[in-house]
Every structure is written in structure tokens, then in C-alpha cells.
Amino acid sequence: MKEKAYYETINVKNEVKLRKLLETLPPFCKQFFIGIEATSSSRTKIAYAYDIGCFFDYLHATNPVCAKMDITDFPISILNEITPMDIEEYLSYLKYYEKDGTEHTNDEGGLKRKLSALRSFYHYYYKNGLIEDDPTVKVDMPKIHEKNIIRLDVDEVAKLLDEVESGENLTARQQQYHEKTKIRDLAMMTLLLGTGIRVSECVGLDMEDVDFKNNGIKIHRKGGAEVVVYFGEEVRRALMDYMVERQKITAADGSINALFLSLQNKRISVRSVENMVKKYSKLVTTLKHITPHKLRSTYGTSLYRETGDIYLVADVLGHKDVNTTRKHYAALEDERRRSAAKYVKLREI
């Protein structure tokens, strides 16, 4: 029996999870998720379901009319009763609230995401003439205060890879496992730093996705698009060393095609890669909280500094909108503009 592709398996799991979430929402919500099927990934739909569910939980807890019925009994007419002021109060509530004895908070990014989900939700029903008004468009998006992008410096990248290779500064317990995983770990860290792929794209790689003839890997982007990302000689060497080892391993059922395996010989998980990056990066810097996404930022920074081509960086990183890339690397663009002042001389001094 042919092994299911990793992304197919993930999508099936997510669809099952979405159906369970929909059982906790008003019945009319199902139409929204059918409507966004063609333009949204399974992960995006689950995020929408959580955020929309949070809105209905709030209405159930604070609105006297809604409190008298179960959330699954809410009629679509409830949406017509909501004013822009109600939504502003909801956003204020989200900054700090308790549910089932657990404290929850949302920063600016969390508030923006929840309002974005609510806007998409309302827009769908308003566009299709199912509700009379869309109050969400009258509510300003929370202002996001930009934070400095955390990334590794050039010398830190070299030191990080040295630490992965040697393992000499790991604890005695970590060193026991390091002997078994160092070739795999070096291949993964070199790949992440040398291509800027997402951690989910990395763990989803199958052996057949690596093309050493053209130095490329086939990855699945967010949204399901398949693209080829190319790598340099350092990545090639690290991957080839690991491939020799990988071909000697008999993988567990369901992971036969997986490129990167755990010590249990199963496809390595996103959480395991996050822990691996955390383990090694702590040996290099205690001031920076380094995650796989920070390795992605490190690659993007290096590529932009070398090429000055923001469109190339956006394309390689898989950003659909170049403005997303520009926003992240605005400081580097300003740095390049400042450097222009040194190149043009009007008179000899």
C-alpha cells in the first residue's frame, strides 16, 4: 500500500479537527468555511474557527440575549445586532480574560489577527446578502508597534554550525544523543540557514524531494503550492553526508519516505526541530531567543545584504506580497540608502 504524502496526512487531520470545531459554532458558520475553501489552507481555516469561536464565546458570556441560548443555537440574525462599539469592547476584552479558570492575553498581533478573522467572516455574509451591515469595517485595526527583527550575525552563524558539528559544549546527557544525531542536526541546521525554508517545509521533505543534480529541494508552501528552492555547496555537502546515513535507516511505518527522522525513526516533528534549534543556539547567544523562524530571518537578511533585491528575497522566502518582505527588512533598506551618501563626490576635499 502506497504511503500517504505528508501534506495529505496533515490536511486530513486538520479537516477532522475543523469538523469538530464547527460542531461548537452556530450552524450558519459552516457556509463561511465552504465559501473560503478554495482560497484558504486547512491550517488557516482552523485558525479562523478558533478566532470566530472566541467571538461567540464572548457574546455568550457578555450579551444578555446570547446568554439565554447555546452557542450552537445562535441564529444568523445575531450578527445584525452587533455594532462597531460592541466589536471595540470585544477587542478590549481580549487583552486579558479568563476562560475555564485559565488566564488568556492577546498582544497587538493577536488582536489584529482576531479582528482580521472577524472581518473576513462578516464580509462573506454581507457580500452574499445574508446580513444587513458589516460593522467590522468601521473598527480600526490595532496598531502594531514594529519590533527589531532578531537574527544571527555572520560570526554567530559560523559558531552555531561549529557547535552542532562538535557538540563539545553540550551537557553530558545531550552529548550521548549528539553522537547519534549530529549528522542529521547539521544537515537540518545548514538547510534552514542556507535556504530560509520554513520549519514545516523542512519536516515535510521526502527523500525524493532532494535533487542533487540541480541542487534543489521541492517544498510545499503555505497554501499548497509546490516550488523548488535551490541550495549552495555547503548545504549540498551536509545533505549528502546525511543521505548516506539516512539510507541505512529503516524508517517506521508512515515515515518510509521522510527525509529527516527522529530517534524513533519516525518523521521528525516541528516541535523537535524547534527544541533542537533552541538547544544549539543557547550555546552561541543567551541574549537572543533563536527559533527556526529566526534562522529564516537570518537567511533573508544575508540574501538581501548580498543582492539588494527585495523581490528576490520575497520570492525565495515565499512571501505572496513583497510589502511583507519590505516591512521586515525596512531597516536594511534604510541602511543601504544611507550608504549611497558615501558614493557620490561633488568636489575633491
Query: Which pLDDT band holds residue 292 (cuts at 50, 70, 90)?
Result: very high
Summarize the confidence of residues 73-100 as an average pLDDT.
92
Instruction: Report the pLDDT value the prediction gives residue 68, as an integer from 0 to 100.
Output: 93
What is the sign, positive or negative, of the torsion defined by CA atoms of 241, 243, 244, 245? Answer: positive
Domains with residue ranges and CATH for the chain: 6-138 (1.10.150.130), 154-338 (1.10.443.10)
306 or 235, which is more confident: 235
Report the C-alpha gap between 82 and 135 in whole angstroms.
Answer: 7
DSSP for 150-185?
P---HHHHHHHHHHHHH-TTS-HHHHHHHHHHHHHH
3-state secondary structure of 205: coil
**Overall residue count recorded for the chain in this entry:** 349
124 or 10, which is more confident: 124
Q: Please list, residue by residue across 126-153, b when 16 or more beta carbons sit within 10 angstroms of its beta carbon and e when fewer do.
A: beeeebeebbbeebeebeeeeeebebbe
Per-residue cell: 310: 527585495
226 or 332, which is more confident: 226
pLDDT, tens digit (0-9, with 9 covering 90-100), for 192-221: 999 999 999 999 999 999 999 999 999 988
Instruction: Report the pLDDT value the prediction gives residue 1, as an integer from 0 to 100.
Output: 46
Summarize the confidence of residues 273-284 as an average pLDDT.
96
Instruction: Report the pLDDT value the prediction gives residue 225, as an integer from 0 to 100.
Output: 81
Is there a contact between 191 and 312 (Cβ–Cβ < 8 Å)? no
Summarize the confidence of residues 287-301 as an average pLDDT.
92
Q: Are strands 102-105 and 96-99 parallel, antiparallel or unpaired?
A: antiparallel
Q: How far is CA 121 from the centre of its chain?
A: 22
Instruction: Report the pLDDT value the prediction gives residue 338, as an integer from 0 to 100.
Output: 66
Summarize the confidence of residues 310-316 as an average pLDDT.
87
Q: What residues does 96 pair with on adjacent strands?
A: 105
Percent of the chain at pLDDT > 70 equals 93
8 Ramachandran zone, left/alpha/beta (phi>0; psi -120 to 50):
alpha
Query: Which pLDDT band holds residue 310 (cuts at 50, 70, 90)?
Result: confident
Q: Which of 28-37, 145-154, 336-345 shows the lowest mean pLDDT across its residues?
A: 336-345
Q: Report how far apart, in Å, the C-alpha atoms of 262 and of each of 181, 233, 279, 288 are.
A: 9, 25, 16, 26
Mean pLDDT rounded to a whole number for the chain: 90
**At residue 60, what is the residue type?**
H
pLDDT, tens digit (0-9, with 9 covering 90-100), for 44-74: 999 999 999 999 999 999 999 899 999 999 9
